[in-house]
Homo-oligomer: A and B are copies of this chain.
Amino acid sequence: MNAPIEFYFDLSSPYGYLAAQKIDALAAKHGRTVDWHPILLGVMFRATGMAPLTEVPMKGEYSKRDFLRSARFHGLSFRMPSRFPIPTQAAARIMLWVREQDPARAVRIAKAMFHAYFADDVDISDPDAATTTAAREGVDAAAARAAVDDPVVKDALRREVETALARGVFGSPFVIVDGEPFWGLDRFDQIDRWLATGGF
């Protein structure tokens, strides 16, 4: 029984969204499962001194073009949200709160959050919008809304991000396969070969 692949993402990350549409199939191709870990890129940016892609001169304009082109290249859906980037604490807390009880449903919620933000232009930084999105996946709306402000859930997210940082995760998407770190959707070809061969 091989260990799960670890998949780290911020729910406001364009390449994270694209990667989220591919990671399960990539893992399944090699008989692996995926552990989904929400992170907060703002915390990573403070640790590295990096900034959101779209706020970097020149690179910002290029990135907006590359998000769309990369989505087309991979045959994936993507639409640039009206507000970008956004803080993703509310959405990530709901996902973690569900993960405690039902990891498979938590993955469906993460995908629903990504889709709400990058396909339907829903601002999931708003706790009520995040709650509505989660409720469509069958969780109790009032309980999900309460989880956003629950100190225990807040602490769980803080620990999730700290653990990711301690493991060297500094961007999104970030994948760890048997200890080997891969940053970016554009490393999925390397992940594919790594899984097939056990390393190269």
Contacts and interface: CB of A to CB of B under 8 A. Distances in A.
Interface stretch (A50-58, A96-104, A109-117, A141-149): A50-58
A84 interface: no
Interface residues of A, number: 31
Nearest to A181: B62
Contacts of A48: 56-59
Contact of A62 (B58, B70, B168, B189): B168
Interface in A138-166: 165
Contacts of A61: 168
A171 interface: yes
Nearest to A73: B190
B65 A181 contact: yes
Contacts of A47: 57-58
A48 B70 CA distance: 22
A170 interface: yes
Given A190-B69, A193-B73, A200-B73, A183 B62 contact: yes
Interface of A: 44, 47-51, 56-59, 61-62, 65-66, 69-70, 72-73, 165, 168, 170-171, 181, 183-184, 186-187, 189-190, 193, 200
In order of increasing CB-CB distance, the 7 nearest A-B pairs are A186-B186, A58-B170, A48-B57, A73-B190, A48-B58, A72-B200, A59-B170
